[in-house]
Structure 1
Amino acid sequence: MNSSRFRRSFLALLVTAAVAVPLCGATVPRVPAPRPAAIDTAAGPEARYAANRDNAVEAARMADAHGDHKRATRLRALADPGRRLLTFDARGTGRAVEVHGDLTRAIRIAVLVPGSDTTLDTYERFAKGARALHHELGPDAAVVSWLGYDTPATIGTTVLTPGRAADAAPELRSFVGEMSRMNPGARIAALCHSYGSVVCGRAAPGLGIDDLVLYGSPGTGVDTAAALATPARVWAGRGSDDWIAEVPYASVELFGTAVGHGMDPVSPGYGARPFDAGDAGHSDYLRPGSTALRSIAGIVNGPARKDAKGDGRA
Structure 2
Amino acid sequence: MGRPSHRTRRTLVAALLAAALTVPLSAAARPRVPAPAPAALPALTPATLATVYAANRADAARAARMAAAHGDSRRAAADRALASTRRRLLAFDGRGDGLATEVFGDLAPADRIAVLVPGSDTSLDTYARFHRAAKALYTAAGRARGPRTAVVAWLGYATPATVSTTVATTGRADEAAPRLRALVRQLRDLAPARAHLSLVCHSYGSVVCGRAARGLDVADIALVGSPGTGADDVSGLGARARVWAARGTGDWVAHVPHVRVDLLLATVGLGADPVSRSFGARVFDAGTADHSGYFTPGSASLANLARIIRGETSEVTGA
Asked whether the equivalents of residues 44 and 190 of structure 2 are also in contact (C-alpha less than 8 Å), the reply is no
Q: What's the secondary structure of 2:177's corresponding residue?
A: helix
- Aligned match of 1:170: 178
The superposition leaves residues 261-312 of structure 1 with CA deviations (integer Å, 9 ceiling, x where unpaired) of: 00000011110001100010101101111111001101111159xxx9xxxx
- Aligned match of 2:101: 97
Deviation at 1:137, TM superposition (A): 1.5
Deviation at 1:111, TM superposition (A): 0.2
Q: What's the secondary structure of 2:113's corresponding residue?
A: strand
Asked whether the equivalents of residues 136 and 294 of structure 1 are also in contact (C-alpha less than 8 Å), the reply is yes
Mark the runs of 5 or more structure 1 residues left unpaired by the alignment: 309-314
Question: Which AA in structure 2 matches 1:125?
Answer: R
Query: Which residue of 58, 63, 81 corresponds with 2:85?
Result: 81
Query: Which residue of 169, 180, 193 corresponds with 1:161?
Result: 169
- Aligned match of 1:19: 21
Distance 2:73 2:11 in 1: 44
Distance 1:303 1:107 in 2: 13
- Aligned match of 2:140: 136
- Aligned match of 2:300: 291
Q: CA RMSD in A?
A: 1.6
Asked whether the equivalents of residues 243 and 281 of structure 2 are also in contact (C-alpha less than 8 Å), the reply is yes
Structure 1 residue 245 and structure 2 residue 254: aligned? yes
Q: What's the secondary structure of 1:214's corresponding residue?
A: strand
Query: Which residue of 34, 43, 49 corresponds with 2:36?
Result: 34
Report the TM-score, using the length of structure 1 for normalisation.
Answer: 0.95
Number of residue equivalences: 306
Deviation at 1:42, TM superposition (A): 4.8
Question: Which AA in structure 1 matches 2:25?
Answer: L
- Aligned match of 2:5: 3
Q: What's the secondary structure of 1:171's corresponding residue?
A: helix
- Aligned match of 1:312: none
Distance 2:12 2:264 in 1: 14
Query: Which residue of 263, 272, 291 corresponds with 1:282?
Result: 291
Pair 1:266–1:27, CA change in 2 (3 A) = same
Query: Which residue of 64, 67, 72 corresponds with 2:68?
Result: 64
- Aligned match of 1:235: 244
Query: Which residue of 114, 120, 143 corresponds with 1:116?
Result: 120
Asked whether the equivalents of residues 173 and 206 of structure 1 are also in contact (C-alpha less than 8 Å), the reply is no
Q: What's the secondary structure of 1:76's corresponding residue?
A: helix
Structure 1 ranges of 4+ moved more than 6 A: none
Distance 1:161 1:9 in 2: 16
Deviation at 1:70, TM superposition (A): 1.9
Distance 1:86 1:258 in 2: 35
Mark the runs of 5 or more structure 2 residues left unpaired by the alignment: 315-319
Question: Which AA in structure 2 matches 1:36?
Answer: P
Question: Which AA in structure 1 matches 2:205?
Answer: G
Asked whether the equivalents of residues 216 and 240 of structure 2 are also in contact (C-alpha less than 8 Å), the reply is no
Q: What's the secondary structure of 1:51's corresponding residue?
A: helix
Q: What's the secondary structure of 1:270's corresponding residue?
A: coil
